[in-house]
Chain A
């Protein structure tokens, strides 16, 4: 068996969720929108899932919109709100889209694209060398983007970064955004953050939040967008008007149930365990191998992610040898061709440098202490081989 340290890419499905899915496929579920007993059963599964998620996140069940995953949630949040400019009876007239420069491509590219179409300027908040957004810079951008009484901003900042794990000061950002203009909307991509930070904290300090099941041991292909009561969005997927006109298409009730269970199991996670796991892994690794550092200091990043910089070796080569030795890790973000492109995140924090390897090791529900002590030995062996 290999050592899987790429939970931030996707986490293996948890046995409880696999069982639930199998059970539900054995249940005769109809289309929840139909009117017979099969439909009612399906409707109950869907409603239960929605209620469960709402209660975990401390929101109203109507705030939960199921999507096909994190990317769709981000797209719906950004396209959906900016396109609501077209609605007449709305206070939302956006003058600027403001995002951090280390957002996931789903946010970065959606913002750039919709900004172009609607001619809404997109401004990017810089981050410091720890990958944390500069609140003073956000403050300045908000000042510049005031844009008159009827105008507001759409701001999107992720809860924690998908590459380096840096934690963002969501509460402070939310306060700044709202105090600059109470009509402005704040969205947070919490696809990575929800597993490692308090989800109610993120949701409580946002107007919209994106989440995805497969980073939590659920199936790929389902996520949610939490949309607070007074936020108007235009749907991206038009059809039968399901999910209160916000996302059409027959509800995937089984995936919805799996999403709910993923969030529920996540809320029972022993955070101390992972905190200790990462801490001792880093100590172990740094004492065994010279020239290895955390790209972002421990206190600025989530417990589930360990992004390391390795001097004097090439990232692709290190990943190759790690894979051969049974360790699954990742480097930067993979581009569509499969080669490792220089990452916009590493560029933003000023870490991208030639002649160094950047490796992301990410943990999850199945990661054991034993996995990590073995991983240290393998990392040591591979790094030393490449340095010869």
Chain B
């Protein structure tokens, strides 16, 4: 493949922040025809997230600076159906959803790539820290960034195999400080925004509780000490809790911090205990999808269960189970587990964590 030399027409997803601005600038320097695109995803209120008017203005400003065209592509209905509705339903099932991964999968990549293809683009690009590389058969693989700390391959792990070859991640070969330096050199530090965080369609002031309270029923639950079965108190809105959480529980026992160990929506019961009780040897998953050939049963893999979580050496089982080499903290159902190859180099696939074996 002549990826390095061919001049392409590339749609770059731009938020107005440093990363996507530098990504666009780098591709432009390589001689590609770059067009900036900001996705308008959320029709409601937001703090700044990835879909506010302010972001569109920032992105437009950067595009003007680079001398490239800028467009806003609206996917408000699709964002609701692929991201917001599933997020609400997942909470109603006492799970801990990861809307950013869903958004990356369906909106930032699938829909954006499909539209870009229809409009005659050769590729789409974003400012994510990850690399597209090619295996010995010339097939694209999604590899970790050279910057361990910034690596974002986890949040990209849900994108579909078909569009991988259509994506470019120009920042994957740089670390964050190099990107900041490039931004400075290219005079692109105008929008020195903090990295986007939390759920973009939820206001910081009201939080998840306010967002969810008029959409689903938030149930009260009793707090039970796991070791003794002793009832320790009550909590409002068990749907807002997540396994492994200790904040908002407000209980300390024997001078030890207490964590949510399990949630039982039928009994309306939250079981808590000290950190060591969170440890488990295995997790279960459903709806696995693969970016490369699927994995062999009992294969050695590395798994990652949160955006900046550390890779865990594990064994993969086709039945829908991951067995950790050493005990790890439990993972809340609804979270995404990404599978990496046995060198912890590239993403093999990802799946959704469930709390019990996936009985087909």
Contacts from A to B (Cβ < 8 Å): 314, 316-317, 320-321, 324, 336-341, 354, 385-386, 388
Contacts and interface: CB of A to CB of B under 8 A. Distances in A.
A337 B72 contact: yes
A336 B57 CA distance: 10
B74 A339 contact: yes
B53 A337 contact: yes
B161 interface: no
Contacts of B77: 354
Given A320-B71, A336-B53, A339-B76, 13 more contacts: A314-B115, A317-B115, A317-B118, A317-B119, A337-B40, A337-B53, A338-B40, A339-B56, A341-B43, A341-B74, A385-B118, A386-B118, A388-B118
B71 to A, nearest CB: 6
Contacts of A314: 115
B73 interface: yes
Interface in B53-109: 53, 56, 60, 71-74, 76-77
Contacts of A385: 118, 120
Contacts of A354: 77
Contacts of B76: 339, 341
5 contacts: A316-B73, A338-B71, A339-B76, A354-B77, A386-B118
B74 A340 contact: yes
Interface in B110-129: 115, 118-120
Given A337-B40, A339-B74, A320 B56 contact: no
B118 A316 contact: no
Contacts of A317: 115, 118-119
A317 B52 CA distance: 21
A321 B53 contact: no
A27 B145 CA distance: 65
A339 B72 contact: yes
Interface of B: 40, 43, 52-53, 56, 60, 71-74, 76-77, 115, 118-120
Nearest to B54: A337
Contacts of A321: 119-120
Q: Which of B43, B73, B74 has the most C-beta atoms of chain A within 10 angstroms of its own C-beta? A: B74
A155 B176 CA distance: 59
The residue among A314, A317, A339 with the most chain B CB atoms within 10 A of its own CB is A339
A320 B53 contact: no
Nearest to A340: B74
Contacts of A338: 40, 56, 60, 71-72
B61 to A, nearest CB: 13
A340 B72 CA distance: 9
B54 to A, nearest CB: 9
A316 B74 contact: yes
B118 A339 contact: no
A45 B56 CA distance: 43
B53 to A, nearest CB: 5
A320 B74 contact: no
B278 to A, nearest CB: 43
A267 B136 CA distance: 73
B80 to A, nearest CB: 12
Contacts of B72: 337-339
**By CB atoms of chain A within 10 A, which of B43, B60, B76, B119 has the most?**
B119
Contacts of B119: 317, 320-321
6 closest A-B pairs by CB: A339-B74, A339-B40, A338-B72, A339-B72, A337-B56, A337-B53
A387 to B, nearest CB: 10
Nearest to B60: A338
B187 to A, nearest CB: 24
A316 B114 CA distance: 13
A385 B118 CA distance: 8
Contacts of A324: 120
A386 B118 CA distance: 6
A381 to B, nearest CB: 12
A337 B53 CA distance: 5
Nearest to B40: A339
Contacts of B120: 321, 324, 385
A317 B60 CA distance: 19
B98 to A, nearest CB: 25
A13 to B, nearest CB: 24
Nearest to B71: A320
A200 B47 CA distance: 49
A318 to B, nearest CB: 10
A338 B40 CA distance: 9
Contacts of A320: 71, 119
A269 to B, nearest CB: 34
B92 to A, nearest CB: 26
A359 to B, nearest CB: 15
Contacts of B71: 320, 338
B328 to A, nearest CB: 42
A324 to B, nearest CB: 8
Contacts of B74: 316, 339-341
Contacts of B53: 336-337
A354 B53 CA distance: 23
Contacts of B56: 337-339
A337 B59 CA distance: 11
A328 to B, nearest CB: 14
Contacts of A388: 118
A314 B74 CA distance: 10
Nearest to B43: A341
Contacts of B60: 338
A141 B120 CA distance: 52
B331 to A, nearest CB: 36
Nearest to A320: B119
A306 to B, nearest CB: 23
B115 to A, nearest CB: 6
A338 B60 CA distance: 10
A388 B40 CA distance: 25
Nearest to B52: A337
B357 to A, nearest CB: 39
B137 to A, nearest CB: 30
Nearest to B115: A317
Nearest to A336: B53
B243 to A, nearest CB: 37
B3 to A, nearest CB: 25
A314 B119 CA distance: 11
A314 B75 CA distance: 11
Nearest to A315: B74
A324 B120 CA distance: 11
A195 B40 CA distance: 34
A206 B115 CA distance: 47
Contacts of B52: 337
